[in-house]
């Protein structure tokens, strides 16, 4: 419909028809907006569900990390264990040294090995005996 000129008469029917077209157009736009909003609501619902699932997963991961951390050996713990094992090994080697010394002394006492061999064997101690102070 063209814009009426000031000197033309517009009927009530024409005004109602224009208002009806305008209302129909506005109604269609509102309908489209409602559809868009409903789509957004649906997508937000899906996103909320995803976030909830992610939070649950994060909670489980935190719990698992706590379990892992509680079961992990610390550096101090490993150092202590290593030093204990090292000390145990040193003790065993000292005992073996003492056994070798005893065997060498017995062999020397029965004159089974020459003095040079006895001296050479005693020279290869892992832990040399400290000199006796008189």
pLDDT attached to residue 35: 96
Token digits of residue 76: 């101090």
d(CA 52, CA 63): 17
List, run by run, the mean pLDDT of 10-residue segments along the chain (134 residues).
63 94 95 96 95 94 87 88 91 87 88 87 72 64
pLDDT at 19: 95
Residue 70's pLDDT is 81
Query: Distance between alpha carbon 34 and the CA centroid of its chain, in Å?
Result: 45
> By the 8 A CB rule, do 121 and 107 touch?
no
**pLDDT score of 130:** 66
């Amino acid at each position: 419909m063209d814009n009426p000129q000031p000197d033309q008469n517009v009927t009530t029917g024409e005004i109602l028809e224009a208002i009806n077209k305008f209302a129909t157009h506005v109604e269609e736009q509102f309908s489209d907006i409602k559809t868009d909003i409903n789509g957004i609501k649906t997508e937000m619902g899906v996103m909320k569900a995803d976030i909830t699932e992610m939070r649950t997963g994060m909670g489980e991961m935190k719990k698992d990390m706590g379990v892992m951390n509680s079961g992990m050996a610390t550096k101090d713990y490993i150092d202590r264990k290593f030093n204990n094992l090292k000390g145990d090994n040193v003790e065993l080697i000292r005992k073996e040294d003492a056994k070798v010394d005893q065997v060498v002394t017995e062999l020397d006492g029965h004159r089974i090995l020459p003095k040079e061999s006895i001296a050479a064997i005693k020279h290869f101690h892992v832990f040399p005996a400290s000199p006796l102070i008189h």
